[in-house]
Chain A
Amino acid sequence: MAKFRKKKSGGQTAINTASLPDIVFMLLFFFMVSTTMKEVDLKVTVKPAQATELVKLEKKELVTFIYVGVPAKKFQSLYGSEPRIQLNDAFSSVSDIQSYIAQSRDNMSEANQSKMITSIKADRECPMGIITDIKQALRKAAALKLNYSAAELATDR
C-alpha cells in the first residue's frame, strides 16, 4: 500500500521541455526548405504547356520570368480577354521587354550576367504571335538563352 501512495501523491513537476527547441527548429527547417517563395502575383492565368524533353531550371538567380496569358477574371474589364504579357507585377507590352531584361540583368552579379536565362511561362492556348513578338524583343535585348516553361507530359509513348 505504501508503495502505491508514493506514486500517486506528490506535487506536479513540470515536464522537461529541453527538447522543445529541437521540435521547433525542426518545424522551422521543414517550412524553410519546403516553401517556395512566390515572387510575383500572377495577374494572368497560365495553364502550363506540356512536354517531355524537359530541362530543370536549377539556378533561380539566373532566371528571369515572362508570363503570358489571358488576364485573370478581375482584370478583364480593364485589360480585356486577349492574352497579355506580365512582367514583374504589371501588365506590359512587348516594347517594355527590353528595359525589363536590361533591368534584371543589372540586378545580377557580373559573373552571372552572361548566363542569364529567360523563361517564358505562357498559357498553352495562347497564340504564337505574341510569343514570337517576345522572342524578337529578346533577341534585340541580347537575352538569347530561352526556356519555354512546361510541365511533364503525363502520357508516355
Chain B
Amino acid sequence: MAKRDVQEVNAGSMADIAFLLLIFFLVTTTMDTDTGLATLLPPPVEEEPEDTPPVKERNVFTVLINSQNQLLVEGKPMEVSELTEAAKEFIVNPNDDENLPEKNVKEVEFFGPVEVSKGIISLQNDRDTEYQTYLLVQNELQRAYNELRSDLSKRKFGKEYNELEDEEKKAIRQIYPRKISEAEPKNIGGN
C-alpha cells in the first residue's frame, strides 16, 4: 500500500476558541482590590496653641466609645445602627433647633448662597476599644456624609455623587464638609 498523507485537521478556528476562552476568563476573574475607609489625619501640632477659639457646645457632636465597645453620643448611650440618623440630623439641623449647630451662609458654585452647618463631629475612643467597633463608628459617620451628599447631588444634578464632575463634587463637599475631629486618646471608662 502506498503511504498517503492523512488529511490535516483544519486548525484555523483554534485561534477563535482560544480567544473565546481568554475573554471568558478575563470577564469572570475578579481581581481582589484592596478596599478601606479613607481618612485624613490632622497635621502634627508643635505645641498646643493656647488661644484656640472656643467651639460652642451646640456645634459639637461628641461620640465616645469606651473599652466595652459601647457608644455614648451627646451624653446618651446609643447603638451603632442609630448613629447615622443622629449624625445626619446633627449636620442638617432641619428645624433650626437651638441645641443643634449654627449655620453660616456661604457662596457655593452652582448653588449660590447656601447655609453651611458649623457642626463638628468629635470622636473619642478608649485605648481598649476594639478596632472593628471604631471602624464601624467611622463607617456610620462616613455614611451620614455620603448619604447627605448623594441626596443633594440627586436633587440638584439628578445624578449619583460618584458620577459628578470634579467641580460639582467640590461644590457639594463645600456644603457638607467632612468634619470629624479625633481627640487625643484617653482612658475613658478604663478598667
Seen from chain A, the residues whose Cβ lies within 8 Å of a Cβ on chain B are: 5-6, 9-13, 15-16, 18-19, 22-23, 26, 29-30, 33-34, 36, 49-58, 63, 117, 119, 122-129, 131-132, 135, 138-140, 142-153, 157
Contacts and interface: CB of A to CB of B under 8 A. Distances in A.
Interface residues of B, number: 51
Interface stretch (B25-33, B71-79, B100-108): B25-33
Contacts of B128: 127-129
Contact of B8 (A16, A51, A148): A16
A147 B38 contact: yes
11 contacts: A50-B132, A53-B139, A53-B142, A54-B35, A56-B35, A122-B131, A124-B131, A128-B134, A139-B44, A142-B44, A146-B40
Contacts, number: 163
Given A12-B6, A54-B35, A128 B41 contact: no
B14 interface: yes
B26 to A, nearest CB: 7
For the complex, would chain A's binding face be called helix, strand, loop or mixed by DSSP majority?
mixed
Which residue, A5, A13, A128, has most C-beta atoms of chain B within 10 A? Answer: A128
Contacts of B18: 19, 22-23, 26
Interface string B129-141: 1111011101100
